[in-house]
Chains A and B, each alone.
Chain A
C-alpha cells in the first residue's frame, strides 16, 4: 500500500467560537481529482488553507507525500496552489510568473526553461511568455495561474474556486481543460468549490462539507445517487423537497401523508408512525406525461396535476406542476416534440426509491 498523497488526521480549526473545521480526516491518493463541495461558510476554504500552511490547525496532523507538514510554513511544503482571483504577479511577465516557484528553488536556468516549456505546452499558452498579466484575458490568466501551480511538479495541487471568476462559457471550456491537464499527471488535485456542477463534472471523488464537517465522502455518483445524510440529499441536484408525516409502515415502504396526498417512500432509518419526514426527489426522477386511463402499477407514486409552466433550458426543460393538494413539483426531461401545453391536465409519477427520505430536523 503506497502512502496517500495527502493525509489529514482529525484536523480542527476554531475562529473565536466558530468551529470552521471540525475533526476532519481524509486520505487522497496519487492522481485523484478530489473535490471539496460546500456552501460558502462551510469551512472548505479554511481546510484548503490549512493544507497549504496559510492557517495553522488548532489540532490534528497534515501529511503531504508521506511527510508530516503540520508545523511547516507554506514555503517549505512543496505544494502548488491556484487562487480564486488568479493572483498573478502584476509586475512580472507570464514566464516570470510561471517560473517563480522554480526561482525560489534556485533551479538552474536550463531546467527552468525545460519545465516552463513543458507547462506552457500543457496549458496551451506557448507564445505568451512575454506578456504582462493585464494583457491577458480571464481564461488566459487562469491558465497561467494553473501553470504556476504545476510547474514545480508539486506533491499536490490545491485549487480554491479557480473558475468562480470566469463567465459560464469559459467555465465550461476550462472544466474540460482541467480534466485533460489532470488526467496526464500523477499530481492529485484538491478542488474547492461551491458549484456542485463543477464538482460533479470534474472530480473522481468528492466530499460534501457543511458547518466544518464532512457530511459524506465518496465517489461522486454515490453521493449523487445515494446520499447518506439529509444535507447531502437536500444539496446535490437541488431536488424537490417534500415534507410530510408517516401514516404507517409496510415492510420496505412507508406511507407518507403529504398535505392530504398519500406518498410511498422508502422507510428512513429510525422512523416510526407519526414522524415528520423530509423526502428529496430529484427533478429528473419525476416523469411528467399526459393523463392516462390505465391503472399504473400500485408500487409507483402517481398523481394527477396541472401543468403550470414549462421552462425551456435547451437540452432539457423544467416542468412545473401543481398537485391536487396545492403543492408544486418540478420534473425535468428532454423536450418532447409532441410536448405538453401549459394549463393542461397531466400526471406525474416516480418510484418510491427514486427519492431519499430522512427524519426531519425538528421532529
Chain B
C-alpha cells in the first residue's frame, strides 16, 4: 500500500513537472508584459521617455475625453456587428458540414482555415484589391458604366467586411466542433412532438450548442475589438478604430504611458465581455452531464 501511494504521488509530481515549461513561458511572455503595461499605465511620458511618476491622469484622459470614448464606442459597435455577421454566416455552414459532410467533414473544415496559410497583411491587401477604388468590384461596375460603390471604399463597412473574412473561420470551427457532439436525432424527437423546424432549432439545437457558439463569439469579438491592421488598410482616413489610436501612442506620438492605459482599458472591456458571456452559460442547461469522456 505504501509503495503504491508513493508511486501515485510521484506520478502527480512528474505531471506537475511537465507543465513547468509551459507555465514558465506564460509567466515570461504573458504575465510579465501585462504587469508592466499595468505599471506603465500609471506613469507618464515626457519627450518619448517613461517617467515613474505615479498618477491616474492617463485614465482620466481616456474616460473623460470625448474623442477616446468615441473610438471605444466605434470599436465596440464594430466588434458586436462583426461577431453577429460571423455568427449568422458561419452557423449554417458549420451545421451543414457537421450534419451532411460525411467523410469529407474534416477536409471541408480544414478548407475554411485555408486563408490562414498566408499572412494577415496579404489577406487584407487582397480584400483591398477587390473593394478598393481600382479594385475588381468597382472596376467591373465602371466597365458597365455604373457608379462605383462608395461605401465599400475606405470606410468602416469595408473594415467590417475584412474583419468578418478574417475571423469567420474561428466562429465556424467553434460551432462545428460543438455540433460534432450534438445528437441530431433530438431534432426528430422535437418534430414528432410538434415542433416546427425553426422552433426545434431554438428549443434544442441552439441551447445545446450555446457553449461552442459563445466561444466562437468571444474568439471573434476580442480580435475585432483590438483590430488595427484591417481598419488601417481598409478603413481609410475616417475609419480609424480604437486599435489604431492605441497603436499610434506607441508609434508617432510616443506616449507610452497613455498607450499602456488604453491597453488596460481594452483588456478590461474584453474581460467584462467574457464575463457577460460566461454568465449566460449554465452547464446543465447546455446538456452537460458531468460525465468524463
CB of B236, distance to nearest CB on chain A (Å): 46
- In contact, B194 and A87 (Cβ under 8 angstroms): no
Nearest A residue to B183, CB-CB: A87
| Contact partners of A101 in chain B: CB under 8 A | 193-194
CB of A187, distance to nearest CB on chain B (Å): 15
- In contact, A75 and B208 (Cβ under 8 angstroms): no
Nearest A residue to B188, CB-CB: A54
- The number of chain A residues with a CB under 8 A from chain B is 25
- In contact, A100 and B190 (Cβ under 8 angstroms): yes
Q: Does A73 contact B (CB under 8 A)?
A: yes
CB of B40, distance to nearest CB on chain A (Å): 46
Q: Is the interface of B mostly helix, strand, loop or mixed?
A: helix
Question: Known contacts A83-B185, A87-B185, A89-B186: does B194 contact A75 (CB below 8 Å)?
Answer: yes
Q: Does B284 contact A (CB under 8 A)?
A: yes
| Contact partners of B287 in chain A: CB under 8 A | 89-91
| Contact partners of B203 in chain A: CB under 8 A | 89, 100
Give complex CA distance A90, B207 in Å: 10
Q: Does A134 contact B (CB under 8 A)?
A: yes
| Contact partners of A73 in chain B: CB under 8 A | 191, 196
- In contact, A104 and B194 (Cβ under 8 angstroms): yes
Give complex CA distance A331, B289 in Å: 49
Nearest A residue to B189, CB-CB: A87
- In contact, A91 and B285 (Cβ under 8 angstroms): yes
Q: Does A363 contact B (CB under 8 A)?
A: no
Q: 1/0 contact trace for B190-219 toward A, CB 8 Å?
A: 111111100100011001100000000000
| Contact partners of A148 in chain B: CB under 8 A | 193
B contact residues, range: 20 to 34
Which chain B residues in 18-35 approach chain A with CB under 8 Å?
none
- In contact, B199 and A74 (Cβ under 8 angstroms): no
CB of A184, distance to nearest CB on chain B (Å): 22
Question: Known contacts A100-B193, A148-B193: does B185 contact A91 (CB below 8 Å)?
Answer: no
CB of A347, distance to nearest CB on chain B (Å): 55
Which chain B residues in 242-293 approach chain A with CB under 8 Å?
284-287, 289-291
Nearest A residue to B196, CB-CB: A75
| Contact partners of B189 in chain A: CB under 8 A | 81, 83, 87, 89
Most chain A CB within a 10 A radius of its CB, from B186, B191, B194, B195? B194
Most chain B CB within a 10 A radius of its CB, from A74, A80, A81? A74
Q: 1/0 contact trace for A141-173 toward B, CB 8 Å?
A: 000000010001000000000000000000000
Q: Does A57 contact B (CB under 8 A)?
A: no
Q: Does A79 contact B (CB under 8 A)?
A: yes
Which chain A residues in 103-123 approach chain B with CB under 8 Å?
104-105
Most chain B CB within a 10 A radius of its CB, from A78, A90, A100? A90
| Contact partners of B291 in chain A: CB under 8 A | 134
CB of B27, distance to nearest CB on chain A (Å): 38
Residue ranges of B at the interface with A (Cβ–Cβ < 8 Å): 183, 185-186, 188-196, 199, 203-204, 207-208, 284-287, 289-291
Residue ranges of A at the interface with B (Cβ–Cβ < 8 Å): 52-54, 73-75, 77-81, 83, 85, 87, 89-91, 100-101, 104-105, 132, 134, 148, 152
